[in-house]
Amino acid sequence: MESAKGRPRVPLRDWARYRFDRTLARSTGTLMGWLVITCLAVVVPVSLLLVWTDPGSPASLSGRLIATWRMSAETLRLGAATGTPPRLVLSAVLGLVALLCVSTLVGVITTGLAERMAELSRGRSTVLEQGHVLVLGWSDQVTTVVGELVAARAPRRPRAIVLLADRDKSEMEEALTARGGPASRARIICRSGPASDPEVLARVSPRSASTVVVLPSNGPTADAEVLRVLLGLRAVLGEGTDGPPVLAAIRDDRYRAPARLAAGPRGTVLETDTVTARLIAQCVGRPGLSLVLRDLLDFAGDEFHLADSTAFHHGPFGPTLLSHPHSCVVGLLTPEGRTLLNPPADTAVLPGSRLIVLARDDDSTRVEDCRHLVDAAVIAPARPEPDDPSRLLLLGWNRRAPLVLDQLRSTARTGSSVEVVADSAVPGPRGTEDRQPAGRDVRFRQAPLSRPETLLGLDLDRYDAVVVLGPDRGDGPDHPDDWTLVALLAVRLLDGRTGRETRVVTELVDDRNRPLAPVNSGSDVIVSGMLIGLLMAQIAQNRHLAAVFEELLSAEGNTVCLRPAGAYIRPGAEATFAGVVAAARDRGECAIGYRRHDITRTGTGDQGIRLNPPKGERRVWYAEDQVVVIATDHHGPPAPAAGPDASDTADSAPSGAR
């Protein structure tokens, strides 16, 4: 409907609502006036109705009006005085003043409490803790780090864990609760704010912390953000060496030197991409290694401890291996702070040294002679390991792929080779034909891996193992694990056609997808974020373990190996684990556990892995069993020499922890 001038006619109801809204928006006094009018419009008529319908009300009109006034005044808290009109007005004014004062006081109190609660909910208050673990930043590893610190056994478990990140406090608490981080055994304190701001850092008491952990974000500028946090921490702590140990994680090797400088003399810098690449490369030739490392790194089972070596002063290291019935000795921490992993048996244990042992807790590192448990008759003679070349297939490409190839090159067996099949949509090799120079054992081939028919057209019979690398965040789908799971399904379908089980090493981003991975028992699934988080939690609890894991995860030196049990105990013979330790000692190795071949009877949880069994545990050893040892791997995982596409990105293998 339109008016005579052509303008649309506004309904009376909408016009009245508009005028009312404009009136309320003018000032607080206008709002109060409307509230008074509304109250009077309701209270006075209702009071009149109550008085006039009450049989006991006065009969005269003045008496009823006085009763109505008294009821309305009591309802509105204006007083109930009666008498002359000036007296009624003064009573009403006094009641209004009292109502205004009380309302103002209630409003001030309510506003103050609301602002204080809002401030607390934003996580901006100061933390006054002593000996807490301070975690700076938010990443995929934060739930693992916090959860493992909470799960640590006393006295290693911190009294409080303070988390500072530029996120909403309630969101952080909900995320930690959803992933099982917080628990009643340790207090989780979340604070919100930029961790690189010195003023914000000072609120979480970094100087009184036992350890400071700096996590990288998931963004492209994660390493630069870590540097800013380290510099901010340096500004708060000062240039001295009396501050808490600092553990930081970066992704790119180019930021290693600046990060080490910013972290200070008590800092440790962990290169996450390098560590992940090492894990993938090591698992290629050692099926089940990912399960062993997961068990070694978490606090749920056995982990590395430092034990007293008083009983072995001036004695050789060898006898210590059979002197702990409920723990496995793997190395020494010298009085100078040097870490010796699996040293020669004749290495002297000097005064002030400490033993590096794999144990459930500090109480299980007691000393007791176990040599009587060794039966020399069942120990197998030493025999050389096979040194056959192998062929590998690498599916997919991400920023860690050049590092994986570089790690494989450092432990290559003569004649080994690898074929890389990458999608044209991801960074890496280009061209549909092999572009590898003569004499190289790495070949690149492009194929649309996003199409299932491409994966199902692969000939896996030519390869000894398959490595599956998912796309990086932001370079592929929103959930990189989706493509990885599709690729694993294709491999299993091809296995079903040929009746052959292909050994697969794959990397996942989310640990919740690990049970979904369709792989066989001889394959390894590496959840990189979770393993990095476990590693950081271990080092955060004991900074001396950084050197231990640095060597275990490196391409050179002592590493974790799974070797046939027949190399230590005669197949079919019954022997104690002390006998296995003695056989490994004679070969210059430290035995720390075993893997049963009949894993179907041990359940899907442990996959047959048993670390740090009692020395007196007796069982029949089969040729299909494996012994977990810490040793120098003279015959590393089968791998080729990397080509120029890989070496251009990673000229040398950077250290994972410095």
pLDDT at residue 604, rounded to an integer:
46
Integer Cα distance of 92 and 88 in angstroms = 6
Integer Cα distance of 209 and 128 in angstroms = 10
Please tell me the least confidently modeled range out of 106-120, 136-150, 452-466, 614-628.
106-120
Compute the average pLDDT of residues 189-208.
Answer: 88
Integer Cα distance of 338 and 331 in angstroms = 11
Q: Which amino acid type is present at position 589?
A: E
pLDDT at 574 over 90: yes
Contact 253/276 with Cβ under 8 angstroms?
no
pLDDT at residue 372, rounded to an integer:
92
pLDDT at 593 over 90: yes
pLDDT at 1 over 50: no
pLDDT at 251 over 70: yes
pLDDT at 38 over 70: yes
Contact 293/287 with Cβ under 8 angstroms?
no
pLDDT at 521 over 80: no
pLDDT at 92 over 70: no
Helices (H) and strands (E) in the chain, counts: 18, 24
Helix axes 169-178, 142-151, angle to 10 degrees: 60
Quote the percentage of the chain above a pLDDT of 70: 80
Contact 528/470 with Cβ under 8 angstroms?
no
Most confident of 289-293, 423-427, 595-599: 289-293
The verdict on pTM exceeding 0.75 is no
Closest CA to 648 of 429, 417, 457, 447: 429
SS (H, E, C) 100-134: HHHHHHHHHHHHHHHHHHHHHHHCCCCCCCCCCEE
DSSP string, 341-392: ES--TT-EE-TT-EEEEEESSGGG------GGG--GGGBPPP-PPP----EE
The CB density around residue 486, as the number of other CB atoms within 10 Å, is: 15
Integer Cα distance of 118 and 146 in angstroms = 25
Cα-based distances in Å from 224 to 214, 237, 561: 12, 20, 36
Please tell me the least confidently modeled range out of 395-409, 418-432, 536-550, 600-614.
418-432
Burial class (CB in 10 A: 0-12, 13-18, 19+), 545: buried
Please tell me the least confidently modeled range out of 60-64, 118-122, 398-402, 413-417.
118-122
Compute the average pLDDT of residues 82-99.
Answer: 63
Position 654 confidence tier, pLDDT thresholds 50, 70, 90: very low
Burial 165-193, CB ≥16 within 10 A → b, else e: bebebeebbebbeeeebbeeebebbbbbb
Integer Cα distance of 584 and 96 in angstroms = 92
Contact 219/138 with Cβ under 8 angstroms?
no
DSSP string, 267-314: EEEEEHHHHHHHHHHHHHSSTTHHHHHHHHHSSSS-EEEEEE-GGGTT
Q: Which residue has the higher pLDDT, 27 or 631?
A: 631
Q: Is 433 helix (H, G, I), strand (E, B) or coil?
A: coil
**Token pair in block for residue 434:** 């092999």
Q: Which residue has the higher pLDDT, 161 or 43?
A: 161
pLDDT at residue 655, rounded to an integer:
47
pLDDT at residue 429, rounded to an integer:
46
Most confident of 67-71, 359-363, 477-481, 630-634: 359-363
Domain residue ranges of the chain, discontinuous segments joined by +? 17-120, 133-265
Q: Which residue has the higher pLDDT, 656 or 393?
A: 393
Contact 403/472 with Cβ under 8 angstroms?
no
pLDDT at residue 102, rounded to an integer:
67
Q: Which residue has the higher pLDDT, 228 or 147?
A: 228
**Token pair in block for residue 417:** 């080779």
pLDDT at 182 over 50: no
DSSP string, 261-280: HHH-TTEEEEEHHHHHHHHH
- At 504, give phi and psi (nearest 5°): -120, 135
Composition of the chain by helix, strand, coil, percent to 5? 40, 20, 40
Angle at 523 between CA 522 and CA 526, to 5 degrees: 145
Q: Is 219 helix (H, G, I), strand (E, B) or coil?
A: coil
pLDDT at residue 89, rounded to an integer:
66
pLDDT at residue 104, rounded to an integer:
72
Contacts of 207 (CB under 8 A, 6+ apart): 236, 237, 243, 244
Closest CA to 193 of 114, 117, 122: 122
Please tell me the least confidently modeled range out of 378-392, 420-434, 542-556, 582-596.
420-434
Compute the average pLDDT of residues 466-483.
Answer: 75
pLDDT at 581 over 90: yes
**Token pair in block for residue 555:** 């391409």
Position 435 confidence tier, pLDDT thresholds 50, 70, 90: very low
Please tell me the least confidently modeled range out of 54-58, 95-99, 197-201.
95-99
Q: Helices marked H in 25-162 — which ranges?
A: 28-52, 61-75, 85-122, 142-151
Please tell me the least confidently modeled range out of 89-103, 302-316, 537-551.
89-103
Integer Cα distance of 237 and 229 in angstroms = 12
Superfamily for the 133-265 domain: NAD(P)-binding Rossmann-like Domain (3.40.50.720)
Compute the average pLDDT of residues 520-525.
Answer: 81
Q: What is the mean pLDDT of the chain?
A: 79
Q: How confident is the model over 309-354, as pLDDT tens digits?
A: 887 777 899 999 999 999 999 999 988 888 899 999 999 888 888 9
Q: Which residue has the higher pLDDT, 140 or 304?
A: 304
How do 442-446 and 328-333 pair as beta strands? Answer: unpaired
Contact 138/155 with Cβ under 8 angstroms?
no
The CB density around residue 344, as the number of other CB atoms within 10 Å, is: 10
pLDDT at residue 495, rounded to an integer:
84
